[in-house]
């Protein structure tokens, strides 16, 4: 995991990947050059409570994030549903509060891919811990997709 004390080079700043879930929110951060995404943590949402946007904002500020990359939970046909609208609203509130940009990335299959990567790596299984790793891993994949697309776009 990267160190928060990493020096930013030549004004480079980090982007944060967010995988909003109904029960857990996975977070990932880029390196200062915006080349590689690394999973950070998973924030647990308490049932019936508002999403922990202040906690996410604190983490983003600690990492000197200037852009949010949020997974958009499209259905299998690529359409947006009610959950997409809620994710867009939460991301918008967070971006406005932090005064940073926000981008959305199709998150379909990122959790499946993250789970497969964890299993392939041979990490020990533990139901709760595994789900937390999967959510942070999904945020990493969301962010890496965006980083790669930004690099290709020049």
CA pair distance 23, 42, nearest whole angstrom: 10
- What local confidence, expressed as pLDDT, does residue 89 receive? 96
Please indicate, yes or no, if residue 18 is contained in any of the structural domains.
Answer: yes
Q: In the β-sheet with 65-72, what is the strand arrangement from edge to edge?
A: 37-44, 24-30, 14-20, 65-72, 101-106
CATH number at residue 50: 3.30.420.140
Please indicate, yes or no, if residue 4 is contained in any of the structural domains.
Answer: no
Instruction: Please give the mean pLDDT across all residues of the chain.
Output: 83
List, for residues 30-72, the tens digit of each pLDDT value: 999 999 999 999 999 888 888 899 999 999 999 999 999 999 9
Please indicate, yes or no, if residue 50 is contained in any of the structural domains.
Answer: yes
- What local confidence, expressed as pLDDT, does residue 55 receive? 95
Domain residues for 123? 14-153
Nearest by Cα to 28 from 112, 111, 137: 137
Please indicate, yes or no, if residue 120 is contained in any of the structural domains.
Answer: yes
Number of domains in the chain: 1
Please indicate, yes or no, if residue 9 is contained in any of the structural domains.
Answer: no
Please indicate, yes or no, if residue 68 is contained in any of the structural domains.
Answer: yes
Please indicate, yes or no, if residue 134 is contained in any of the structural domains.
Answer: yes
Q: Which of 11-20, 83-92, 96-105 has the lowest mean pLDDT?
A: 11-20
CA pair distance 102, 126, nearest whole angstrom: 33
Q: How confident is the model at residue 110 (pLDDT cuts 50, 70, 90)?
A: low
């Amino acid at each position: 995991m990267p160190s928060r004390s990493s020096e930013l080079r030549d004004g480079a700043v980090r982007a944060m990947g967010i995988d909003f879930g109904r029960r857990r929110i996975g977070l990932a951060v880029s390196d200062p050059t915006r080349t590689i995404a690394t999973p950070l943590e998973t924030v647990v949402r308490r049932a019936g409570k508002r999403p922990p946007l202040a906690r996410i904002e604190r983490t983003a500020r600690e990492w000197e994030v200037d852009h949010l990359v949020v997974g958009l939970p499209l259905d299998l046909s690529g359409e947006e549903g009610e959950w997409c609208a809620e994710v867009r609203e939460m991301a918008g509130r967070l971006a406005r509060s932090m005064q940073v940009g926000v981008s959305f990335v199709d998150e379909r299959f990122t959790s499946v891919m993250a789970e497969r990567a964890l299993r392939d790596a041979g990490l020990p299984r533990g139901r709760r811990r595994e789900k937390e790793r999967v959510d942070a891993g999904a945020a990493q994949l969301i962010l890496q997709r965006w980083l790669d697309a930004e690099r290709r776009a020049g």
